[in-house]
A and B are shown apart, each in its own frame.
Chain A
Amino acid sequence: MRQQLLDYITANLTGTIKPSSELPFEEGNQALHLKNLRRVYLAEPYQEQTTLYATFNGNHVNVKTDIVQGYLTVDAKNRNTDLDAALTTLGSAKDVATITGRHRREFDYTTSIDNDRLTYEFQYRFYSIV
């Protein structure tokens, strides 16, 4: 799942903002996205399961959510001209055709500013029935 997202992002982020496939993306307790600006980092996926339908015989219908967390840090003072386009591309990645069997896909991000660095922390969520 992470790889499919990386493939899509690599193919479609062709401006100043580019993806990195590095894992783990920490070096000496510092996250690499804080060090290497304009690089998109994706974490390994993790899962959550919730009950969609509870049943009396105990065979509940569950929804599995695969979650991929991502990070991008840019210079807050000198905004990249292609930042908006890059964020749109990152959002579009949730619909990548190589990830199949998902009835619902979500993408969102939050922003935070620390010193002169603007960090986008984004999340992909892919839902399937199990």
Chain B
Amino acid sequence: MAYIYPAPGVANVELTLEIEVSGDTNALAIPALQDITINNANDVFTWTQLDSGSKFNIPTTASNSIDMNLVVDQTVFFGSGSGADVAVNKGLFGLSKDKKLISFSLYMGDTNSGSAGKTISGTGYVVGLAPTVSADSPVWVTPVSITVVGDYTVA
């Protein structure tokens, strides 16, 4: 079997997510991810026929998005504030606020320690930020979604 197990903290085996804006030299690596979900939700066209007691379905276009939760890192969230790399400069909050089209690259982790895992990439927008903190858990965490424009690429 080739189960994918992104061993936390192990280089080339752990799950990583990088985003960049077109023209960036260096991507913004998103640290401290708690969980991540890859959505590929096909719409379905449904019809009925008089000669069948059951409905017929065919998938049409998909809504693609990547949902995650992360612990807020100040530099990554608000950006470095300088430099030519837009994603690094603006951070997640700036990319969301300015509605920048980004490219993302999600390395899913490996089936062994040989960095031979799959990478899902595409373009989209950073949405769904909702940082929160509480007295019982006094560390900022936030959900983040990348709403994908078009299709995924798997490499």
Query: Which residues on A are within 8 Å of B, measured CB to CB?
Result: 52-61, 103-104, 129
Question: Chain A at the B interface: mostly helix, strand, loop or mixed?
Answer: loop
B137 at the interface (CB under 8 A from A): yes
Indicate whether B67 reaches chain A with its CB closer than 8 angstroms: no
B contact residues around A55 at 8 Å (CB): 8, 31-34, 70-71
Least distance between B5 CB and chain A CB atoms (Å):
11
Can you report 18 residue pairs joining A to B where beta carbons are below 8 Å apart?
A: A53-B32, A54-B8, A55-B34, A55-B70, A55-B71, A56-B8, A56-B15, A56-B32, A56-B33, A57-B31, A57-B32, A57-B33, A59-B31, A60-B8, A61-B32, A103-B135, A104-B135, A129-B139
Residues of B whose CB lies within 8 Å of any CB of A are 6, 8-10, 14-16, 31-34, 36, 70-71, 135-139, 141
Neighbouring A residues of B10 by C-beta, 8 Å: 58
Q: How far is the CB of B66 from chain A (nearest CB, A)?
A: 14
A8 CB to closest chain B CB (Å) equals 22
